[in-house]
Amino acid sequence: MTKLCVLGMGYIGLPTALLFANNGIDVVGVDINERVVNTLKTGRMPFEEEGFQELLEGAYQKKSFRASTKVEEADIFLIAVPTPFDAELHMADLKYVVSACEMITPYIKKGNLVIVESTIPPKTCEKRIRKILEKSNLKVSQDFYISHCPERAIPGNTLYEMINNDRVIGGLNQKATELTRDLYSTFVKGELYLTTCTTAEMIKLMENTYRDVNIALANELAMLAQEYNINIWEAIDIANKHPRVNIHRPGPGVGGHCIAIDPWFLTENTNDSSLITLARNINDSMPIHVLKKVKELVNGLENPVITVFGVAYKGDIADTRATPALKFIKLAEKEGYTVKIYDPFVKEFEYPILSMEEAVEGSDCIVVLTDHSEFREIDSDFLVCEMRNPNVVDSKNILPKQKNPFINYLSI
Ligand code: SAJ
């Protein structure tokens, strides 16, 4: 039985490890965080999403998964640790990837394969990772193999996408690519596209950059639309009926740990990337635009109280990483507004999360920043009753289409 050692028991590494363990691979899941490892040892997932718990139970029943804080010998090593963004230098911070490689190096044997799933700038496998792993005194592409197989699953629908999405696989040589293909074909139902290592690194970043630039375009179009007093949501919906047009949705900015940072990994080696940089700046400036809308509505009110609906970085999840809501809240406080927050999913945040009643009572303006499905059904009469002044800025176009005549609405 093939033995796989997965480094990083986070949102990607853990479900990936469990999918392998449920499909005929003997897996040891390694994390330096003892709390995560201990939780797994007690049979519980450290975080939840649909299907995760069942997958862990299945792996334990098959006796094909163990959690550990220590790396051990294996046939294949898979690195799925985070790649944070160094905001000062505008580049990828590879400290966790480097440290995972250093942990593997003493255990590398002839014939081993090392797969990197973590998002990395182009050429990282060839230049950086290879060098660290060759400290084992073995030669890459002769004695052992390296490949990149970027993760592409969307948070909120992780398992479905891990199994069904197509994958990109790029080895430093042909053998590495083929060994990686054989491993992933144990559970991936999508196509496995084989290419070079650097191409695979670039493809991952291109995908997220495409989305970021497209969202920036949507945001710019939204700002232009208000000059002509037209409804941007209707305009985009109709434009997208064209067979070759797919404009994304405008909003209060781009959050999460991928789309808001990956474009910088692509541009860190060049000064020739004005479009990508501009798109990043447009998206980062959207909270300022939303605040302008709020100012239009509360202008002239004494000590305005603002209610934020949704601080998760996107709808129907509890994840607040890099949420644009944080910048909006800080700007609103700087403006002198009192800010109250309601989010049906988020439990932990930099600011207290209130019940909907507490958050809405006495408010002068509700600002919708996340498209949680619950907001589609909101009772507008309840808002009119509870608010001090019934104003709403719906930056996600998620509130019921039927408008309440007693509420002043603004869109993005
Ligand atoms: N957003 C908009 N308008 C849109 C779409 C998204 O403003 O039309 C905003 C969201 O509200 C959110 C942010 O962008 O704040 C990012 O959300 P997302 O749903 O676009 O993406 P992520 O970050 O959750 O996941 C992305 C996915 N990449 C692509 O779709 C190309 C996912 O497949 C990747 O695996 C993931 O990044 C990753 O880990 O790289």
Question: The domain that contains 169 carries what CATH number?
Answer: 3.40.50.720
Average pLDDT over all residues of the chain: 97
Q: How many domains does the chain have?
A: 2
Q: Which of 5, 101, 149, 204 is catalytic?
A: 204
Q: What is the tens place of the pLDDT at every residue in 108-125? A: 999 999 999 999 999 999
Q: Which of 258, 340, 365, 396 is catalytic?
A: 258
Is 204 designated active site?
yes
Same domain, 53 and 179: yes
Q: Which domain holds residue 129?
A: 3-195
Q: Which two tokens stand for residue 217?
A: 């375009």
Minimum-distance ligand 1 atom for the alpha carbon of 262: 40
Pocket of ligand 1 (CB under 6 A): 151-155, 207-208, 211, 215, 248-249, 251, 254-256, 258-259, 313-314
| pLDDT, position 405 | 96
Same domain, 28 and 157: yes
| pLDDT, position 407 | 97
Distance 103 CA to ligand 1 centre (A): 31
With cut-offs at 50, 70 and 90, classify the pLDDT of residue 152. very high
Q: Would 406 be classed as within a structural domain? A: yes
Best residue among 217, 258, 320, 321 to mutate for probing ligand 1, ranked by most atoms within 8 Å of CB: 258
Q: Would 348 be classed as within a structural domain? A: yes
Q: Strand 76-79's sheet: what is its strand order?
A: 65-68, 26-30, 3-7, 76-79, 113-116, 145-148, 167-171, 192-196
Average of per-residue pLDDT across 16-40: 98
Same domain, 291 and 190: no
Is 110 designated active site?
no
Best residue among 311, 314, 368 to mutate for probing ligand 1, ranked by most atoms within 8 Å of CB: 314
CA dist 316 → 95, 98, 121, 375 (Å): 31, 34, 30, 10
Q: Would 311 be classed as within a structural domain? A: yes
| Final residue belonging to a domain, choices 176, 195, 214 | 195
| Final residue belonging to a domain, choices 136, 167, 195 | 195
Q: Would 252 be classed as within a structural domain? A: no
Q: What is the tens place of the pLDDT at every residue in 183-195? A: 999 999 999 999 9
Same domain, 22 and 141: yes
Q: Would 291 be classed as within a structural domain? A: yes
